[in-house]
Structure 1
Amino acid sequence: MTSPDPQPGPDRGPKRRRLPALLRPLRTLRQRLIATSLLIVALPISAVAVVLVYQEREVVLLEKEKKLFAITRILDSELGPGFDAYLDGLNGGWDNRDGAIERLAQRLTPLTDRIAASDPGVGVGYYVRRLDAIVTYGPSRDYAYTVGRSIPADHPGRQVMAENRPQITQGSLVRGSILNAMYPIERRGQVIGYVWANETTEAIGLQQRLIDLAVFVTSLFGFGVAFVLVWVTSKRLSSEVDVVVHGLAAMKTDLRRRIPPLRDELGEVVDAINGMAKALLDARSLTENILSSVADGIVAVDRRGVVTAINPAAERLYSVSARQVLGRPYSKLFNTDARHSALLETLDSGRPQLGISVELRRGEHTFRVDASSTVLRDGDGRPIGAVVVLKDVSERDRLMVQVMRADRLAALGELTAGIAHEIRNPLTSIRGFLQYLQECESVEEWRHYGPLIIREVDSLNHIVGELLAFGRPRPPQIDAIDLGELVKETAFLARGRSDAQVSVEIEPGLPAIDGDREALKQAILNLVINAIQALPGGGRVDIELAAADADQVAVRVRDNGVGIAPENLSKVFDPFFSTKASGTGLGLAMVHRIVDAHGGTISVQSRTGAGTTVEMRLPVRLQPEPPSEDPR
């Protein structure tokens, strides 16, 4: 069987998944892999950088607060017992405000300058509550001008002294925008002032920016390293994927091609692909060998009606070669259309066509072909085309004709023998009576034997009449029949012929059937009479009428009589076969012919001494003979 490579259609193959909008401009696997990997790397690096920057700002501020408060505690401890010790010997003491400020500035400025010098950028100083003045602010070279100044009423330092609680603020003060740590000076249970240590926010911001820069540089370095690693890895991976892609492309036309071995997981994928290709090649070879050896013709088409496969038997049947028909429309090749083609009808409707018998002409010869077509489906159950199987039954039909002719001759011989047997007995009796009467002169003898001769002649006439009825059945008169009423009427007629009990059981709701009323009445009556005759000592005959399936009804005649011997069951419908001394053997043969004419079936079940059941199954609707179709 030969088939071309399948051509992709508009509705074939798996639909490609659409890429996210961000990745649509990236056409190659490597580009998408690099972009995706970098995106995956960039997100955590950026998140870590943001977290580090945020935490770094918090840490810097916390560290500054701790440092500034440590400096204020140093200033507080360096002050000793308080400001009073620094004013000893001052004329006027505290009342001399200017002198007190000058004395405290002289004593404390070296201390604040030393501490400020130990940490450049930090400003420190003392504020005396009693004098309401700044007495020192280091480094003094920059802030000596503030000595003697009072702080505003809303200055945070006043809140520190009032609440006796350290406080740190950020805002614009004497030095400008600063982070200012203020610590209350408490001596002997009283707050006598406060000390501060501050640093400009510009310096803090510079430090933070330096740390931000370090984080940025580190993140950029990590991103660069990741980019290099992704680039190298993607290059290797894309080259290996290209090997797989090119190998698969080659396999489309030649399944014998193998993909070169690779490493790691892709190597396992390649091994699996090569294994599947070999299995597919073996399966294809097996299928082709099987179809090539099949005696029946097989033709397959795709959804467009284009021939995709044809086996040698079909080539011989159509007198074509695969090269002539593959890839071409089926209807144009064989000059047919869907109305006369089982294959195209199946392709169009999706319904299988089974056992369509037609004649196919090839030159001067005519072939009898049985065509059966069905839908081809893919692994997901979607239709992909249709296939037709063509069986040349010409030789079979010829042999069947010969067998039927032989059967008819045999049946004719049996019929002739049966007729001869049935006619010979009355003729022998008539001949004997006539020979006897030929030598007898008594009128009484003639009167006595004359009726016997007439009875034998009537028997001959009865046999001839049944032969005529069996050999020339009248045309059926088909009409809608209420089979229940017909069964009741037949049972009523049969009851008058015997003392046997005849019962009728009819299933309600049965439909009327198509049939010949008189013929069916004769068939049922014959069955009932046969059942009665099987009850020599009286008995029971049951007639049942019921639905057999969706479109058939069954008539069962059951008796409890003598039954039929097993060796005779296969002969009960043969003409002139009878186990009764006075029977002609045509009754059941006539019943069988009537049932056949109605498209039904008849069966017999019997046990010797237990009774017999005869069942007729009749279709509700008679089906017309199907017209012949072109198998193509």
Structure 2
Amino acid sequence: MRLLELRRLFPVRTLRVRLMLTSLLVVALPIAIVGVALEREGRQALRSEKEDKLFALARVLDLELGPGGYDALIADLPTGWTDRAAAIRHLNRKLAPATDRVADAAPGVGVGYYSRRLDAIVTYGPSRDHANTVGLSIPEDHPGRDVMATKVPRAEAGTLVRGPILNAMLPIIRDGEAIGYIWSNEFSSAIEAQASAIDLAVVVASVGGLVVAFGIISVLSRRLSREVGVIVHGLAAMKRDLRRPIPALRDELGEIVEAINGMAKALNDARSLNENILASVADAIVAVDLEGRVTAVNPAAEHLYGVTSAEVIGKPYRSLFPKEARLDSVLLDTLQTGRVHAAVTIDLPRAEQTLRINATSSVLRDGDGKRIGAVVVLKDVSERERLMVQVMRADRLAALGELTAGIAHEVRNPLTSIRGFIQYLDECESLEEWRAYGPLIIRQVDSLNHLVGELLAFGRPQPPRIATVDVPQLIKEMAFLARGKSDARIELACDGSFPTIEADGEALKQALLNLIINAIQAIPDGGTVTVSTRTEGEHVAIVVKDDGVGVAPENLDKVFDPFFSTKPSGTGLGLAMVHRIVDAHGGVITIDSAPGKGTVVEIRLPIVHHDQTPEPVS
């Protein structure tokens, strides 16, 4: 109950109270440290001053004793040192006036002489107070005995002959020997009273400083808290309306307010810009939170789904579709798995028709990178696909026309030759001429047959028969076969760590053999064909390089077209077939060539074969 009452009285969670407590702590801690340091230094300085004063009085008494010491004073005593009591009385009569004079000059101070030879107090001033101590010996553990033994001055605080005192003891040195010691002492109570006065002054000064600091901190914190309150209330208002600026303030807080107002204006402008962009984008955009509830839709999405933003904001994304519809959404998949989808073609069922949609989804994150939802961009490609079908049909018709023209050209030449030979032989009766021209006719027929065979292979492609293929071994076999067709030098530079791949081995053999033979036919005598391999992540590359005549720049775009060939006897179907084989494997073929600098053909194939037929996504 008391704790609750204290919290109610002192709401430490307010900014002003925190500022006051923090400031007081910052101020009080140095004041306390300085106060403690001053108190210690004051006490140390007081003791040092007392010790210096007491040792000064002891040195005055040492001078009063004279250079001869006790021996000079006792020289006129008939009995000398033999009569201890007489010697003590004699020395007391000689030295008591000096000790009384010094003691009277420093009230509260006690001074005296001690004789080591007599082991007795010779005099203790003021005599009126301490005459009864004359003739007494100090205890065995008295620090005065250490002073006489070590010949080192010493100040000691404790309870001695006089009581609790600070005692300064000075050895009396004559001819290198300690003949006694002189003391000068003062009651500890008097010293403690002076030290307490110093402590009181330090405490008063510290408390006064804290009171003044508290007043200043209270005034400043009230002003600062009031100005911070203006900022807090202004920020609360900005949550509802970014167009309401915070009132201007002074000094650094004024700069903070200006910065906040500037950021609010920039944020409002950015929000307006984003809203305008979303409103003007032709593609549909839908965003959802982590629970799958719609958080934003643009006008294009409203038109695509046939809804308004007011109807769907805050509702589950599945509510945009009929309950009986089978839904396999890329947006919800991204939301659940974090997997990004790019340009996925899906079917979007609508009441009047099913639309073909190009969908791209990604994860939404806040400024800290934390996932807050997902967004999908939907593009209606139904009309585009219809136009693409028409374009592809037109392209196929054009290609068919080119193919027909090529076939006609390739077939006409052998037929013309056959017709000419037949006409000639029809009028010829010589059997020798029939034997001479018969093989020529057969070669022309074989040429036609070869052309028809290539056309059949090109026109009826078979799907690849996928198996594990050792590409370096396959390259060695094709290089061996190609060597028999020319005296060109074939060099192999296969990667030793080249992996096996999934491919149609026979189709790859056909493609590689065509490329190597083309390279051999393009080089002059003594040329070199280099076949190399390398691995690039999930793909492998096969490179066929020659130092032959090269290909003219205007012909590079045509080398893979059917019936295009720069060789007099070529059909133009070899590279077209290679391109079709590589494409069936999901690979890419590129060519780089320049006249007189040779040609480089590169095939890139995936290590793992993927079916090229896309799966429908709804």
Q: TM-score range by the shorter chain?
A: 0.7 to 0.9
User: What pairs with 1:223-238 in structure 2 (closer than 5 Å)?
Assistant: 223-238=210-225
Equivalent pair of 2:152/2:171 in contact (CA under 8 Å): yes
Secondary structure at 1:252 match in 2: helix
Q: Tell me which of 271, 287, 291 is aligned to 2:274.
A: 287
Q: Aligned in 2, Cα 1:462/1:74: closer, same or farther, shift over 3 Å?
A: closer
Q: Say which of 9, 15, 31 aligns to 2:17.
A: 31
Among candidates 357, 382, 398, match of residue 345 of structure 2: 357
Pairing of 1:287-436 with structure 2 (within 5 A): 287-330=274-317, 340-425=328-413
CA contact (8 A) 1:116 1:139 kept: no
**2:483 aligned with 1:483:** no
- Match of 1:619? 606
Aligned partner (choices 261, 265, 290) of residue 252 of structure 2: 265
Is residue 518 of structure 2 the alignment partner of residue 518 of structure 1?
A: no
- Deviation string for 1:134-190 (max 9, x for gaps)? 9997696xx59x66975455497997998999987655578754556789999xxxx
Q: Which amino acid aligns with 1:513?
A: I
Q: Separation in 2 of the partners of 1:173 and 1:517?
A: 115
Q: Deviations over 1:507-527 (max 9, x none)?
A: 153333333333333333444
SS at match of 2:276: helix
Whole-Å separation in 2 of the counterparts to 1:194 and 1:495: 124
Out of 22, 43, 65, the position equivalent to 2:29 is 43
User: In 1, are the aligned partners of 2:545 and 2:598 still within 8 Å (CA)?
Assistant: no
Are the counterparts in 2 of residues 123 and 139 from structure 1 also a CA contact under 8 Å?
no
Q: Distance in 2 between matches of 1:441 and 1:68?
A: 161
The CA deviation at 1:471 is 1.9
Of the structure 1 ranges 411-420 and 159-168, higher mean CA displacement relative to structure 2 is found in: 159-168
1:546 CA drift (Å): 1.5
User: 1:171/1:520 Cα in 2 relative to 1: closer, same or farther (>3 Å)?
Assistant: closer
Asked if the contact 1:599/1:622 (under 8 Å) is kept, the reply is yes
Q: Is the 8 A contact 1:558 1:614 kept in 2?
A: no
Give, in whole Å, the separation in 2 of the partners of 1:293 and 1:37: 55
Q: Which residue of 1 aligns with 2:235?
A: 248
| Aligned residue number for residue 580 of structure 2 | 593
Q: CA deviation at 1:246?
A: 2.9
2:99–2:123 Cα contact (<8 Å) kept: no
Ranges in structure 2 where 5+ consecutive residues have no aligned partner: 1-9, 67-82
Q: Distance in 2 between matches of 1:618 and 1:267?
A: 65
User: Which of 442, 454, 457 is the aligned partner of 1:466?
Assistant: 454
Deviates more, 1:586-595 or 1:155-164: 155-164
Structure 1 residue 599, shift from structure 2 partner: 2.0
Deviation at 1:410, TM superposition (A): 1.0
**What is the correspondence of 1:28-107 to structure 2 with a 5 Å cutoff?**
28-64=14-50
The structure-2 alpha-carbon separation of the partners of 1:272 and 1:443, relative to structure 1 and needing over 3 Å to count, comes to same
Q: Judge which range, 506-515 or 218-227, deviates more.
A: 506-515
Superposed CA RMSD:
5.4
Give the aligned residue type for 2:462.
R
Residue 78 of structure 1 and its aligned partner are, at CA, apart by 11
* Inter-partner Cα distance in structure 2 for 1:491 and 1:185: 119
Corresponding position of 1:12: none
Q: Distance in 1 between matches of 2:365 and 2:488?
A: 60
Cα displacement string for residues 221-252 of structure 1 (whole angstroms, at most 9, x for unaligned residues): 11211221222222222222233333333333
Whole-Å Cα distance in 1 between the matches of residues 258 and 318 of structure 2? 43
Q: Contact 2:148–2:181 (CA<8 Å) still a contact in 1? A: no
The offset of 1:461, in angstroms, is 4.7
Range that drifts further, 238-247 or 114-123: 114-123
Q: For residues 429-454 of structure 1, what are the alpha-carbon distances to aligned partners after superposition, in whole Å with 9 as ceiling and x for unaligned?
A: 6666777888x696969967887777
CA 1:348 to 1:360, structure 2 compared with 1: closer, same or farther past 3 Å? same
SS in 1 for 2:201: helix
Say whether residues 1:205 and 2:157 are aligned partners: no
Q: In 2, Cα distance between the equivalents of 1:151 and 1:72?
A: 20
How far off is 1:530 after superposition?
Answer: 4.3
- 1-structure distance, mates of 2:197, 2:591: 108
Equivalence for 1:546? 533
Mapped partners of 2:525, 2:172: distance in 1: 139
Percent identity, aligned pairs only? 58
Aligned length: 592
Normalized against structure 1, the TM-score is what?
0.73
Between the aligned partners of 1:480 and 1:157, the Cα distance in structure 2 is 105
Alpha-carbon distance in 1 for matches of 2:413, 2:146: 151
Deviations 1:28-73 (A, max 9, x none): 3332322222222222222232233333334444555566677789
* Code of the aligned partner of 1:355: A
Work out the CA distance in 1 between the residues paired with 2:545 and 2:181.
127
CA contact (8 A) 1:539 1:560 kept: no
Q: How far did 1:360 drift? A: 1.7
Inter-partner Cα distance in structure 1 for 2:114 and 2:474: 132
Q: What is the letter of the counterpart of residue 37 of structure 1?
A: S
List aligned pairs for 1:602-613, cutoff 5 A: 602-608=589-595, 611-613=598-600
The question of whether the paired residues in 2 share the 8 Å contact of 1:548 and 1:554 is answered with no
Q: Tell me which of the two structures has the higher relative contact order, counting C-alpha pairs closer than 8 angstroms and 6 or more residues apart.
A: 1
Q: In structure 2, do the counterparts of structure 1 residues 201 and 161 end up closer, same or farther at CA, with 3 Å as the change threshold?
A: closer
Does the CA-based 8 Å contact 1:488-1:504 persist in structure 2?
A: no
State the Cα distance separating 1:472 from its structure 2 match: 2.0
Distance 1:179 1:196 in 2: 10
Moved more, 409-418 or 572-581: 572-581
